[in-house]
Each structure stands twice: as structure tokens, then as C-alpha cells.
Amino acid sequence: MTDEQKRIRGYLEAQGAKLPPSAIVEKVREAMGRLRTAAVAVPPARFAEAPAVGEWSANEVMAHVVEAGRHFGEGIVRALAGMPPGERRHAEERPAAPSHTAAEWLAMLDRDREQLFDRALRADPTARLEQSISHGFFGLLNWRETLLFIRVHDLDHAGQLEKIAAALSAHA
């Protein structure tokens, strides 16, 4: 684990233990707001266009955010239900991103997240913290840490979308 990964893991552990689920959900909602703003800033006609060779398009970024959110959200729901974790998926096993508009991706994200938030907010904050959800960089996380990870993930990709929007708008 790199120093940066250790720093982020420390944040997830400390804040996941300290913050109640309602505060974590609010932090994820705030990150989703930044993600939303960044996604709609990408010129719609260029949403599926990568800003440079080897980089992701905004469409690919949003596909990843939605898919990762579903994966980790499923892990949280399974943990809260006392079920074993689902299978870990590797990036190379995922299908190519379908093509959607920013609005369509954001609507999917909103639907998925509202279901997840509803479940997390109904949970006993101390329930099932011993059950782990595996993350490729950060190791085993409990459900509260995983929910907080979703925030970090959204913010990371909001920054990526902001750069894509700037690059594609500059070359318009």
C-alpha cells in the first residue's frame, strides 16, 4: 500500500468510526453534487469523446462511477443483511461502457444511491461492522468505511470530469 493509500485508508477508518451514517450519507450527497456539476459541464455533443488518446471519455467515467457504486453498494447491503460478500470483480472483467448522456447516467446514479442511502440510514450504526467488503487498494473495509469510500471515489472522478470538461470546452 502506498503512502497515499495509507492516508486515505486512515481517513476512511477514522471518519467511518466517528461519523454517524446520516453524516456519511450527507458527505456522499455533497460529492455527488460536485460529480453532477462536472458531468453536465462536459459539452453534450462530446460526452463520449476522450480528451486525449489513452484517456477516458466522460461517458466512460460515469459508467465506471455507476458500476463501482453498484458494486460497493451491493457489498454494503449484503453486509447489513448478514450475507457473505459478493464476488470481487476486476476491471478487465467488466464489459465496455454503454453510451448514455450525462443526465441518463446521473439518473441511474441517483436511483442506485437513494436505495443505498435508505438502507444505510435504517441500519443500526454499530451493526455488522465485523463484516468486510474488499477493496483493491484499501483492503478490507466495513460498511461505514465503504460508504465513505464512495464519497472519495466520487470526488476523485468529479475532478477527472472537470478536467475533461475543460479540455473539451477549450478545443470546441
pLDDT at 158 (0 to 100): 98
A 10 A CB-CB count for 13 gives: 16
β-pairing, 133-135 with 139-141? Answer: antiparallel
pLDDT at 90 (0 to 100): 58
pLDDT at 96 (0 to 100): 78
47 pLDDT band, cuts 50/70/90, is very high
Q: What are 127-154's pLDDT values in tens digits?
A: 998 888 988 888 889 999 999 999 999 9
pTM: 0.92
Domain count for the chain = 1
Q: Are residues 89 and 71 in contact, defined by beta-carbon separation less than 8 angstroms?
A: yes
Q: What are 2-34's pLDDT values in tens digits?
A: 898 899 989 999 999 999 999 999 999 999 999
**80 Cβ neighbours under 8 A, 6+ residues apart:** 119, 120, 123, 127, 128, 143
Q: Are residues 112 and 70 in contact, defined by beta-carbon separation less than 8 angstroms?
A: yes
Alpha-carbon separation of residue 143 from 38, 123, 137, 163 (angstroms)? 27, 10, 16, 31
CATH number at residue 33: 1.20.120.450
pLDDT at 89 (0 to 100): 61
pLDDT at 138 (0 to 100): 85
To which residue does cell 448522456 refer?
101
Domain span at residue 103 reads 3-170
pLDDT at 99 (0 to 100): 94
DSSP 8-state secondary structure symbol assigned to residue 86: -
Q: What are 48-96's pLDDT values in tens digits?
A: 999 999 999 999 999 999 999 999 999 999 999 998 776 666 555 556 7
125 pLDDT band, cuts 50/70/90, is very high
Torsion of Cα atoms, 6 then 10 then 16 then 17, to 10°: 140
Grid cell for residue 91: 476491471
> Could you give phi then psi for residue 97, rounded to 5 degrees?
-70, 130
Question: Residue 40: pLDDT above 70?
Answer: yes
